[in-house]
């Protein structure tokens, strides 16, 4: 249990009933707290999914520390190179040249040549005025056997535009060959979104049933195999943060792009399934009815098991916590709190529905500084997501990130099973939620 | 190129060092940074985050605020948080972008202090240095700002322990073991900077008869306390057979007010650069381990210091090494390498590696293998392991 030294805090700016909240950003920006929960994937985890690739970062010690330790905790330190910047590089040198020579230094020090390198300049490169295009021109001429991926680690830019991880995902689609479309393949774009299995995921099940291979980056044994997935006849994405990548690839290769909606309610699931089925001329009625029936039975079973136990949800575990809250409340579960600092635009209808039908549902910031002193709950809470588990000090929690490979009716059913399992098998949160990049290799 | 690394990680950064040093003192540490510093600190560089409250935040700086110099938002956000959370003090830390654009932190500190009535000080980090630099600057600020003048009456046989953070002393109970050792030989603990500590004791640190600096992070504070209160300092960790030398130095310095670095004297007298045993680490800790090994094994031990900090603390100037290639070269000929396990790729072929987990280097990796150096039995086991490898 957290040892407190302070005397509490006023939480009126950090938590509020949804009836009084503004969409999509309920909380004022201020100083930012960071919880001990680290389950989400960062740019290192995402990049490491690219087979036979390595990553090079050019930055200050403080910024480097987080990414190099991420790689080491993944047991992937041998795929990581770094150029540590010093004052002289910023004040007395040409940062373009320091960057270039540093990257060359990494390549020359490695005993084997990588097939692809993800390069990450940082905020400093914007502010000091580095000619990053020139860096890549030289690298591409000097090392034509390496595919150079132009990434960034520049969080100073992320609050007003695309994030470093969104641009990284897009860049990771660039190696894909422009091949004639093969109708037996589909790509799932966004390597940090687990595809789940045919048991947990309706679209995976549907594609398998239709004889379509679902390509994922992490399943490719080598870089060349990954490049050949450019043959897939369609691109699909689940993660909203993979939209830029999927649409960019679809445009480049002239392929249809399917946004498989991560809403939890039947209508949104059906809309996505129908779009996919229409493209392949599949009839879904019978298949869908059986999936829906199984999900309905799982909901009834979970309701009997969980009853009116309070439930908290976070935006690390699921992309659309408001949609999940609405689905659960409509199913007569007792959702009391949502931990999220902002919401996706597609959550607006659910937000408005909850304002009307569950006005006392509390929205909680995870970043506001006073959340460091968030009080322990007075009763046991079932948490869905790692951050909710931490704030609720719960041993009853579903550990998942980025929807955890759950999608559609199979996703509904599996979530119900996992909620029951969380209740039946309490676990200490700290060792689970402190692990970075849940689902990745980890040496801790 | 010295700054290129492909085999080992870097040490914790200066901002993490500052946050670690101030962690238990009841203040609020604000890192003026876009993102990542707080997560890196509490994930990889801090053992206490999940279990013990501390107010450490980032500002969430964005590009436009940096470009147009919108410092008002920073000030307003700090003031709002301080008014809500009531810290004892506020420490502002710099990071690469505010550093490069020349943010006036001294001015911001004054503005915030005026609006909150809480002491505010600036730790001149910039993200480009290692934890020793940041922690030592933070402790220096504590010595200047938070130690009270009125408590300067000397308390006989009392000692301040300076430079104690989990970044260098990561095993739970390290502080208690060290304090116990000192108490057993007749010293009273005036204050402990700052692990499992009492912030009120630090306020009264001016009353100590002597300062014991157990890592480079405590050296700048020792200099300030010497200037302010005339307190002499001894640098060294009382480990193994070297403990007696530390205790003797404390007695002497309390009497004659001279600074002493007993590990440095012992190692320099022993052809250290030729030793077949190499210890890699922070200067005071690695030097003390080497001094203890030198005493028991009667063989020279070389010390390699890849961290920053005062040159005065490094046993031999040639042993301050930066960069992967230089560290590798410095290990040439060593048969035994006592170092964090992540140094393994740089060890000479065939050399035996004795793991000595250093949280500031490998963080959570191998944390369960860490050794409490102040526990005599644990240190004896470490020595035995080295002795076995040396025979």
Q: Which of B14, B29, B85 is best to mutate for the A interface (most A CBs within 10 A)?
A: B85
Helix (H, G, I), strand (E, B) or coil at B281: coil
pLDDT tens profile B160-210: 999 999 999 999 999 999 999 999 999 999 999 999 999 999 999 999 999
Is the bond into A24 cis (omega within 30 degrees of 0)?
yes
Report the sign of the C-alpha dihedral through residues B271, B274, B277, B278, in that order.
positive
- Cα angle vertex A91, ends A88, A92, to 5°? 65
As given in the structure block, the two tokens for residue A46 are 């995402």
Closest-CA residue of B relative to A433 is B50
pLDDT at B298: 77
pTM of the predicted structure, to 2 decimals: 0.96
pLDDT of residue A3: 55
Query: DSSP state, A341?
Result: S
Token couple for B284: 């005071």
- Within 8 A of A443 by CB-CB distance, chain B residues are 365
Which residues are CB-neighbours of B100 under 8 A, at least 6 positions away? A90, A124, A127, A128
Angle subtended at Cα B321 by Cα B317 and Cα B327, rounded to the nearest 5 degrees = 135
Contact assignment for B52 to A2 by CB distance below 8 Å:
yes
- Residue range A429-434: mean pLDDT, rounded: 95
Sort strands A334-339 and A182-189 into parallel, antiparallel or unpaired.
unpaired
Judge: B51–A2 Cβ closer than 8 Å, yes or no: yes
**Which chain A residues have a beta carbon less than 8 Å from that of B344?**
none
**Count of residues in chain B:** 391
Name the residue in chain B with its Cα closest to that of A127.
Answer: B97
Q: What is the pLDDT of residues B94-118, one digit of tens each?
A: 999 999 999 999 999 999 999 999 9
For the stretch A168-210, pLDDT in tens is 999 999 999 999 999 999 999 998 888 889 999 999 999 999 9
Nearest to B77 among A30, A122, A155 (CB): A30
pLDDT at B267: 81
The arithmetic mean of pLDDT across residues A233-255, rounded, is 97
Inter-chain touch B128–A434, beta carbons under 8 Å: no
The pLDDT value given to residue B322: 87
CA–CA separation, A284 and A203 (whole Å): 12
- What pLDDT score does B391 carry? 57
CA distance A163 to A176: 22
B32 — pLDDT class (breaks 50, 70, 90): very high
Over chain A, what is the mean pLDDT?
96
Q: Are A186 and A212 in contact (CB under 8 A)?
A: yes
Kindly tell me if the per-residue pLDDT of B273 is higher than 90.
Answer: no
Query: What integer pLDDT is reported at residue B387 of this predicted model?
Result: 83
Q: Which residues contact A316 (CB under 8 A, 6 or more apart)?
A: A37, A39, A40, A385, A386, A387, A401
Residue B297's pLDDT is: 80
Is pLDDT at B390 greater than 90 in this prediction? no
The confidence score (pLDDT) of residue A194 equals: 83
Q: What are phi and psi of A238, to 5 degrees?
A: -110, -50
- Alpha carbons B345 and B355: distance in angstroms, whole number: 13
CB contact under 8 A, B35 and A155: yes
User: What is the C-alpha to C-alpha distance for residues B339 and B11, in angstroms, rounded to an integer?
Assistant: 13
Closest CA to A51 of A282, A227, A185, A296: A227
Mean pLDDT value across residues A326-334: 98
| Separation CA A379–CA A312 (nearest Å) | 12
pLDDT of residue A5: 54
What are the residue ranges spanned by the domains of chain B?
Answer: 14-129, 149-260, 263-390
User: DSSP characters for A220-250?
Assistant: -SSHHHHHHGGGEEEEEE-SGGGHHHHHHHH
What ipTM describes this predicted complex?
Answer: 0.96
| pLDDT recorded at residue B152 | 61
Query: What's the pLDDT score for residue B61?
Result: 93
Per-residue pLDDT reduced to its tens digit, A380-426: 999 999 999 999 999 999 999 999 999 999 999 999 999 999 999 99
Say whether residue B188 is in contact with chain A using an 8 A CB cutoff: no
Contact indicator for B186, B196 with CB cutoff of 8 Å:
no
Give the span between the Cα atoms of B355 and B336, in whole angstroms: 10
Q: Rounded CA gap, B28 and A373, in Å?
A: 13
Can you tell me the distance from the alpha carbon of B58 to that of B36, in angstroms, rounded to the nearest whole number?
Answer: 8
Cα first-last separation, chain B: 38
CB-CB neighbors (< 8 A) of A430 in chain B: 50
B191 at the A interface (CB within 8 A)?
Answer: no
pLDDT of residue B151: 58
Binary contact (A109, B6; C-beta < 8 A): yes
The answer to whether B14-129 and B263-390 have equal CATH topology is yes
> What is the residue-averaged pLDDT of chain B?
93
Most A CBs within 10 Å, among B8, B19, B40, B133, to test the A interface: B40
CATH architecture of B263-390: 3-Layer(aba) Sandwich (3.40)
Q: Is B40 close to A62, i.e. CB distance below 8 A?
A: yes
The whole-angstrom separation of Cα A198 and Cα A410 is: 8
The predicted structure's pLDDT at residue A264: 97
Asked if A408 has any chain B CB less than 8 Å from its own CB, the reply is no
Chain A residue numbers touching B130 (CB-CB < 8 A): 61
Task: Check B53 against A372: CB less than 8 A apart.
Answer: yes
User: Among A27-31, B32-36, B71-75, which stretch is predicted with the lowest mean pLDDT?
Assistant: B32-36
> What is the average pLDDT across B273-291?
90
Among A4, A39, A40, A2, smallest CA distance to A431 is for: A39
Is the pLDDT assigned to residue B86 strictly greater than 90?
yes
B101 touches chain A (CB under 8 A): yes
What is the C-alpha to C-alpha distance for residues B35 and A353, in angstroms, rounded to an integer?
33
Please state which CATH number belongs to domain B149-260.
3.40.50.1980
Mean pLDDT calculated for residue range B77-85:
98
Of A359-373, B239-253, B375-389, least confident by mean pLDDT is: B375-389
The answer to whether the peptide bond before residue B194 is cis (omega within 30 degrees of 0) is yes
Indicate which of A1, A8, A31, A152 best probes the interface with B, i.e. most B CBs within 10 Å of its own CB. Answer: A31
The four Cα atoms A99, A105, A106, A108 give a dihedral, to 10 degrees, of: 150
Burial code (b: 16+ CB inside 10 Å, e: under 16) for A161-186 equals eebbbbbbbbbbbbbbeeeeeeeebb
Partners of A235 in the β-ladder: A187, A257
Is B60 in Cβ contact with A102 (below 8 Å)? no
Q: Which residue of A has its CA nearest to B61?
A: A156
Tokens of residue A436, six digits:
């970075």
Q: Within the 334-363 window of chain A, which residues sit less than 8 Å (CB to CB) from chain B?
A: none
Least reliable range by pLDDT among A19-33, A49-63, A409-423, B145-159? B145-159
Q: Give how far A399 is from chain B: nearest CA, Å.
A: 18
> How much is the pLDDT for B1?
87
- Residue ranges of A 75-104 with Cβ closer than 8 A to chain B: 77, 80-87, 89-90, 98, 101-102
Residue B275 pLDDT grade (very low, low, confident, very high; cuts 50, 70, 90) = confident
Among A69, A127, A156, whose Cβ lies nearest the Cβ of B44?
A: A69
Which residue, B20, B11, B1, B24, is CA-closest to B362? Answer: B11
Contacts of A85 in chain B (CB under 8 A): 3, 128
Instruction: Inspect the interface and report whether the beta carbons of B64 and A160 lie closer than 8 Å.
Output: yes
Out of B26, B36, B125, whose CB is closest to A155? B36
pLDDT score at B97: 95
B17 to chain A: nearest residue by CA? Answer: A62
Nearest CA in chain A to B9: A68
- CA quadruple B209, B215, B218, B222: dihedral sign: positive
Residues 18-57 of A with CB under 8 A from B: 29-34, 36, 38
Q: Does B341 contact chain A (CB < 8 Å)?
A: no
| Gap between the Cα atoms of A99 and A96, Å rounded | 5
The whole-angstrom separation of Cα A171 and Cα B124 is 37
In contact, A353 and A290? CB cutoff 8 Å: no
Q: Is residue B200 less than 8 Å (CB to CB) from chain A?
A: no
What's the CATH code, domain B14-129?
Answer: 3.40.50.1980
């Amino acid at each position: 249990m957290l040892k407190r030294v302070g005397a509490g805090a006023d939480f009126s700016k950090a938590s509020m009933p949804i009836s009084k909240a503004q969409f999509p950003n309920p909380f004022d920006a201020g100083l930012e707290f960071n919880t001990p929960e680290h389950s989400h994937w960062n740019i290192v985890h995402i990049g490491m999914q690219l087979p036979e690739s390595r990553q090079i970062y050019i930055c200050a010690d403080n910024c480097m520390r987080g990414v190099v330790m991420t790689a080491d905790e993944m047991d992937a330190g041998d795929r990581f190179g770094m150029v540590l910047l010093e004052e002289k590089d910023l004040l007395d040198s040409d940062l373009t040249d320091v960057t270039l020579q540093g990257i060359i230094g990494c390549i020359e020090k490695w005993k084997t040549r990588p097939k692809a390198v993800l390069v990450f300049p940082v905020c400093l490169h914007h502010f000091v005025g580095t000619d990053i295009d020139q860096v890549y021109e030289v690298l591409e001429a000097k090392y034509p056997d390496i595919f150079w991926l132009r990434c960034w680690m520049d969080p100073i830019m992320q609050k007003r535009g695309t994030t470093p991880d969104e641009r990284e995902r897009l860049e990771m689609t660039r190696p894909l060959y422009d091949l004639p479309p093969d109708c037996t393949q589909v790509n799932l774009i966004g390597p940090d979104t687990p595809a789940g299995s045919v048991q947990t995921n309706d679209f995976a099940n549907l594609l398998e049933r239709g004889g379509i291979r679902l390509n994922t980056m992490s399943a490719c044994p080598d870089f060349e195999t990954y490049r050949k997935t450019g043959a897939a006849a369609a691109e699909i994405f689940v993660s909203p943060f993979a939209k830029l990548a999927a649409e960019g690839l679809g445009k480049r290769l002239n392929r249809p792009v399917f946004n498989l909606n991560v809403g939890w309610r039947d209508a949104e699931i059906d809309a996505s399934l129908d779009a996919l089925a229409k493209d392949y001329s599949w009839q879904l009625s019978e298949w869908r009815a059986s999936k829906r029936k199984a999900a309905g039975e799982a909901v009834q079973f979970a309701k009997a098991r969980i009853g009116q136990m309070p439930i908290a949800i976070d935006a690390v575990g699921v992309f659309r916590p408001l949609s999940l809250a609405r689905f659960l409340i409509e199913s007569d579960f007792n959702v009391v709190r949502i931990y999220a600092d902002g919401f996706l635009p597609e959550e607006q209808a659910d937000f408005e529905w909850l304002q009307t039908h569950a006005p006392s549902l509390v929205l909680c910031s995870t970043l506001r500084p006073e959340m460091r002193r968030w009080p322990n709950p007075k009763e046991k809470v079932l948490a869905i997501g790692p951050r909710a588990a931490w704030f609720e000090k719960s041993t009853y929690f579903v550990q998942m990130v980025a929807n955890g490979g759950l999608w559609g009716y199979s996703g509904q059913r599996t979530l119900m099973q996992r909620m029951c399992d969380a209740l039946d098998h309490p676990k200490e949160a700290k060792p689970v939620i402190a692990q970075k990049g849940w689902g990745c290799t980890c040496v801790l | 190129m010295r700054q290129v690394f492909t085999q080992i990680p870097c040490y914790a950064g200066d901002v993490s060092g500052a946050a670690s040093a101030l962690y238990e003192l009841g203040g609020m540490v604000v890192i003026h940074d876009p993102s990542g510093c707080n997560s890196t600190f509490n994930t990889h560089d801090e053992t206490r985050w999940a279990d013990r409250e501390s107010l450490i935040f980032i500002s969430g700086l964005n590009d436009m605020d940096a470009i147009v110099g919108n410092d008002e938002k920073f000030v307003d956000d700090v003031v709002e948080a301080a008014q809500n959370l009531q810290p004892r003090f506020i420490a502002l830390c710099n990071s690469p972008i505010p550093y490069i654009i020349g943010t006036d932190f001294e001015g911001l500190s004054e503005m915030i202090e005026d609006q909150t009535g809480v002491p505010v000080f600036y730790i001149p980090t910039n993200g480009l240095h290692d934890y020793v630099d940041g922690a030592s600057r933070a402790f220096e600020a504590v010595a200047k700002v938070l130690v009270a003048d009125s408590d300067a009456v000397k308390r006989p046989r009392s000692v301040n322990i300076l430079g104690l953070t989990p970044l260098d002393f990561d095993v739970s109970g390290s502080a208690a073991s060290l304090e116990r050792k000192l108490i057993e030989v007749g010293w009273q603990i005036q204050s402990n900077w700052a692990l499992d500590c009492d912030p009120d004791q630090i306020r009264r640190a001016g009353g100590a008869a002597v300062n014991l600096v157990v890592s480079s992070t405590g050296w700048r504070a020792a200099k300030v306390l010497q200037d302010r209160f005339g307190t002499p300092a001894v640098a060294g960790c009382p480990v193994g057979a070297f403990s007696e030398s530390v205790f003797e130095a404390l007695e002497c310095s309390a009497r004659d007010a001279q600074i002493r670095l007993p590990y440095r004297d012992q190692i320099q007298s022993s052809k250290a650069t030729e030793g077949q045993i190499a210890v890699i680490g922070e200067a005071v800790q690695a030097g003390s381990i080497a001094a203890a090994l030198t005493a028991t094994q009667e063989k020279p031990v070389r010390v390699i210091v890849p961290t920053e900090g005062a040159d005065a603390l490094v046993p031999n100037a040639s042993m301050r090494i930066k960069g992967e290639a230089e560290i590798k070269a410095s290990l040439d000929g060593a048969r035994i390498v006592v170092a964090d396990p992540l140094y393994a790729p740089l060890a000479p072929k065939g050399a035996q590696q004795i793991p000595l987990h250093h949280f500031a280097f490998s963080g959570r990796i191998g944390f369960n293998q860490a050794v409490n150096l102040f526990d005599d039995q644990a240190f004896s086991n470490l020595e035995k392991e080295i002795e076995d490898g040396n025979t």
